[in-house]
Chains A and B, each alone.
Chain A
Amino acid sequence: MKKAICMLLVCALLSLCLVGCGNDGNSDYTLVIGGIGPTTGVAATYGTAVKNGAQLAVNEINAAGGINGMQIKYLFEDDQHNPETAVNAYNTLMDKGMQILMGTVTSKPCIAVAEVAREDNIFQITPSGSAVDCIKYDNAFRICFNDPDQGTASAQYIKQQNLAQKIAIIYDKSDVYSTGITEKFEAKAGELGLNIVAKEAFTSSSATDFSAQLQNIKNADADLVFLPIYYEAAAYILTQSKSAGLETKFFGCDGLDGVIDQLGEQNAAAAEGVMLLTPFVATAEDAKTKKFSQDYKAAYGEMPNQFAADAYDAIYTIKAACEKANVKGDMSVSDICNALKAAMLQIEIDGLTGKMTWSANGEPNKEPKAMKIVNGIYEAM
């Protein structure tokens, strides 16, 4: 009897999410953009940044009259950096009448969602899903660089500028972004005759203590450490290398942006001289970035990182493409997608992360900027 009651309870819960949220009906006046990313769990920083960055763009657009006269209804769901939860989040958003998908933030969940999004033929633009497979279908585009390109570009840049001969790598063995860049970096470096003297790994479960890795790099006598990782882990590496007396240059990719704020004033010295190849820097002096950084700081109390900028650009890209294709709110998801797919190839965006055009494979064409941290701010190299 008790069991039957419990079973009924479960059924009741299930039916709660069954009826939960009806579609408000697509009208001429609103366009529903859905976002998915981790706002809880270990990857929460990235998802939160995307959520906030996009919200900022949505607020601006809505205040200025919206897209083709439609107001944007922006919904964001948490995926905890888990592919299964991401698919649930996607379906929840579809229940709520999502017409365009801005997401997902992290690569593995993005790949899972891309599979389902293709079946619905919904237009998908990921701000930061950098694995190649994230946009393998033609309905998907992205704002950020893909991993292999970053690896190749980094090796080329180091060779061109003759930054180092003996290179060490510290990478996150358990992360797609990091392993993806590392793999291509190694290949390109080998091609260009750069000498990789040490390749040190860590994983998500040992990402705070780097004394052994730094010691190995010291033993290998490297003169540059390549860091294809995110700024949290980099902050540990930079502070620990200072106290271990490691005197090398550091070079990173776009994941490293945000390291200045992460280190904070008291550790600022550790960031001095760090170089990175990134499309966005929050402290850049141009009017657009300045305004964005100020607004972001005012709204959320911290400096934006690259994820926030990617998301901001993603929303403006959607706006530009919708205007180009003259998308209306009462069109079906699939019609919107087909119209936007064509429009994406014709638009050019001058966003926070550079001037972008898109090719049919969904990849953006834009130039990374090489930056160096001097006196606590970025300087172009």
Chain B
Amino acid sequence: MKKKKLNLRVLLTYGILAAVCVLVFVLIETGVASRQFKSLVVPLCVNMMLALSLNLIVGFLGELTLGHAGFMSVGAYAGCLLSVYLEGTMPMALRLPLVMLFGGLVAALFGLVIGIPVLRLKGDYLAIVTLAFGEIIRSIILNLDFTGGAAGINNVPRDIYRGSNYLIAFVLVFITLIVITNLVYSKQGRAITAIRDNRIAAESIGINITYYKLLAFVIAAFFAGVAGVLYGHNIGQLDANKFDYNRSIEILVIVVLGGMGSIPGSLIAAGLITVIPEVLRTFSDYRLLVYAIVLIAVMIINASPRMQALRARFSVRRLWKLIRGRRRKKEA
């Protein structure tokens, strides 16, 4: 019975997301959508992928990392460099999946190599070490020749931006969503959440802590890498400075805002964080001020214990029950 309910919930997420995608598709293809709207679609998908993957570490594994942008940059550079190299030798339909996979795998490899030593740290110490790794990666990219240093790479094929190729971004979001939900609701996923809830208890029933921590870390790094490749092919260039700790924090903001361990939450929050600054353009100079106020307000409304209690009292579900209860009483 319980299992069925879970599946229903997941299916609902899929369904709503698919409906939104179809809606966006219709809006764009019928020409109703503004250009600003169109240019937001892919960045939104990138943020969704990043948030989903970071949620695996922060929400489900319960570890704080501040280096997610580092994995994104490794994947982006690996995938985009390969794409530049392969451009013209094969059709886009073949090249794009190949470079995405490559970018993801390189990022996953970095996740593995970095994960083995650092995952024995906990809490803020892990956060700082991952932040440090992110900054080291940035520093190295700025100093290497083949990454272009500060000039970065400027000739990444802009496959995603042109035409109706934003659909590729939808597909990638769905793949990320399906893989991560399946993982979370599988045996492995339960092991991962068990580690979050009580590490020692999990260990005592024979869960291999290191293995599952690494698993979550590597998968998250993989999707961050793919998101990086997607980002590069949308904007057509890479700049190491855009993958600094501020970017990691931005992703963390999405995850926490959406609720740790909530997959639909990550998707919705990614939408909010991408769209709000653009909607606020009408405030011109006050844009970031309003953004900051909105962020604080949403956090307080969403996460404060008192507000949560209040919301529980006036929730739609409760209201529904109340009405139904009354009706039943009347009938009786």
The interface of chain A, by Cβ under 8 A from chain B, is: 1-7, 9-11, 13-14, 16-21, 39-40, 77-78, 82-85, 87-92, 94-95, 108, 111-112, 115-116, 119, 131, 133, 172-176, 178-180, 203-205
> Is there contact, CB below 8 Å, between A13 and B34?
no
Instruction: Please state if A77 and B281 are interface contacts (CB–CB under 8 Å).
Output: yes
A7-B16, A91-B36 as given contacts; A116 in contact with B278, CB under 8 Å = no
Give which listed residue, B151, B162, B282, contacts A131 with CB less than 8 A: B151
Complex contact B36–A17 (CB within 8 A): yes
Cβ A88 vs Cβ B239 within 8 A: no
Which residues of A have CB within 8 Å of B231?
84
Tell which of A2, A16, A89, A178 touches B315, judged by Cβ atoms closer than 8 Å.
Answer: A2
**Cα distance A175–B234 when bound, in Å?**
22
Q: With A91-B36, A94-B35, A179-B150 as given contacts, are A10 and B237 in contact (CB-CB < 8 Å)?
A: no
Chain B's nearest CB lies how many Å from the CB of A162?
31
Q: Give the B interface residue count (CB, 8 A).
A: 57
**How far is A224 from B284 in the complex, measured between Cα atoms in Å?**
44
Q: Which residues of B contact A10 (CB under 8 A)?
A: 20, 268, 271-272, 275
Distance in Å from the Cβ of A115 to the closest Cβ of chain B?
Answer: 5
A84 cross-chain contacts in B, Cβ below 8 A: 43, 231, 234-235, 242
Q: B158 in the interface, Cβ–Cβ < 8 Å?
A: yes
- Docked complex Cα distance between A13 and B161 (Å): 22
Give B26-66 interface residues, CB cut-off 8 Å to A.
Answer: 27, 32-40, 43
Bound CA–CA A9/B265 (angstroms) = 13
Q: How far is the CA of A87 from the CA of B39 in the complex (A)?
A: 7
Which chain B residue shows the least CB distance to A86?
B235
Interface residue from B20, B23, B151, B316 paired with A2 (Cβ < 8 Å): B316
Please measure, in the bound complex, the distance between the C-alpha atom of A161 and the C-alpha atom of B264, giving whole angstroms: 66
On chain B, the residues within 8 Å of A82 by CB distance are: 242
| A11/B34 contact (C-beta < 8 A), A4-B16, A82-B242, A131-B151 known | no
The answer to whether A88 and B278 have CB atoms under 8 Å apart is yes
A205 touches B135 (CB 8 A): yes
Give the number of A-B contacts (CB < 8 Å): 134
Contact status A1-B316, CB under 8 Å:
yes
Cβ–Cβ contact B34 & A20, under 8 A: yes
Instruction: Other than A88-B36, A92-B281, A203-B139, give 4 A-B pairs with Cβ distance below 8 A.
Output: A3-B13, A14-B275, A92-B35, A176-B152
- CB-based contact A18/B37 at 8 Å: yes
The answer to the question of B12 belonging to the interface, with a C-beta cut-off of 8 Å to chain A, is: yes
Structural contact, A174 and B275, CB atoms closer than 8 A:
no
> In the bound complex, what is the Cα–Cα distance between A91 and B239 (angstroms)?
21
A3 adjacent to B268 (CB under 8 Å): yes
A89 to B149, CA, bound (A): 26
Given contacts A19-B34, A40-B288, contact A83 B150 (CB under 8 A): no
Residues of A within 8 A of B154 (CB): 111, 133
* Chain B residues in 8 Å Cβ range of A131: 151
Least Cβ distance of A84 to chain B in Å?
6
B101 interface residue (CB < 8 Å to A) = no
Residue of A nearest to B285 (CB): A39
- Asked if B112 is an interface residue, CB under 8 A from chain A, the answer is no
Is B188 interfacial (CB-CB < 8 Å)? no
Complex: A76 Cα to B142 Cα, angstroms: 31
A-B residue pairs in contact (CB < 8 Å), sample of 5: A3-B12, A39-B285, A77-B281, A95-B36, A111-B154
Alpha-carbon distance A13/B272, docked complex (angstroms): 8
Would A18 and B142 count as touching, CB distance under 8 A?
no
Task: For the complex formed, measure the closest distance between the CB of B324 and the CB atoms of chain A, giving whole angstroms.
Answer: 14
Known contacts A95-B34, A116-B161; A7 and B268 CB within 8 A of each other: yes
Interface centre among B244, B278, B316 (most CB of A within 10 A): B278
The interface residues of chain B lying within 8 Å CB-to-CB of A14 are: 24, 37, 40, 271, 275
| B317 interface contact, C-beta 8 A | yes
Q: Which of A88, A204, A205 has the most B CB atoms < 10 Å from its CB?
A: A88
B107 at the interface (CB under 8 A from A): no
B residues near A85, Cβ cutoff 8 Å = 277
Output the least CB separation between B177 and chain A (Å).
Answer: 14
B268 contacts A176, C-beta separation under 8 Å: no
- In the assembled complex, the CB of A39 is this many whole angstroms from the nearest CB of chain B, namely 7
Please report the C-alpha to C-alpha distance between residue A72 and residue B288 in the assembled complex, in whole angstroms. Answer: 28
User: B34, B152, B244, B287: which has the most chain A beta carbons within 10 Å?
Assistant: B34
Q: Which B residues are CB-close (under 8 A) to A89?
A: 281
CB pair A17–B279 under 8 Å, yes or no, is: yes
Closest 3 CB pairs of A and B: A91-B35, A10-B271, A91-B39
Does residue B181 face the partner (Cβ distance < 8 Å to A)? no
Residues of B within 8 A of A119 (CB): 162
The answer on a CB contact under 8 Å between A20 and B36 is yes
Question: Roughly how many angstroms separate A9 CA and B271 CA in the complex, as a whole number?
Answer: 10
With the chains together, A198 CA to B27 CA distance in Å? 58
User: For B271, what are the chain A residues with a Cβ–Cβ distance below 8 Å?
Assistant: 10, 13-14
Does A1 contact B317, Cβ atoms closer than 8 Å? yes
Whose C-beta in chain B lies nearest to the C-beta of A87?
B39
B132 to chain A minimum Cβ distance, whole angstroms, is 12
CA distance A90 to B317 in the complex (A): 44
A17 to B275, CA, bound (A): 8
Q: Does B240 contact A (CB under 8 A)?
A: yes
Q: Which residue of B lies closest to A119 (CB)?
A: B162
**What chain A residues lie within 8 Å of B276 (beta carbons)?**
13
Please state if B282 and A20 are interface contacts (CB–CB under 8 Å): yes
Q: Which residues of A contact B150 (CB under 8 A)?
A: 172-176, 178-179
1/0 per residue, CB under 8 A from A, across B304-315: the answer is 000000000001
For the complex, what is the distance from the CA of A116 to the CA of B135, rounded to whole Å?
A: 31
Q: How far is the CB of A254 from chain B (nearest CB, A)?
A: 18
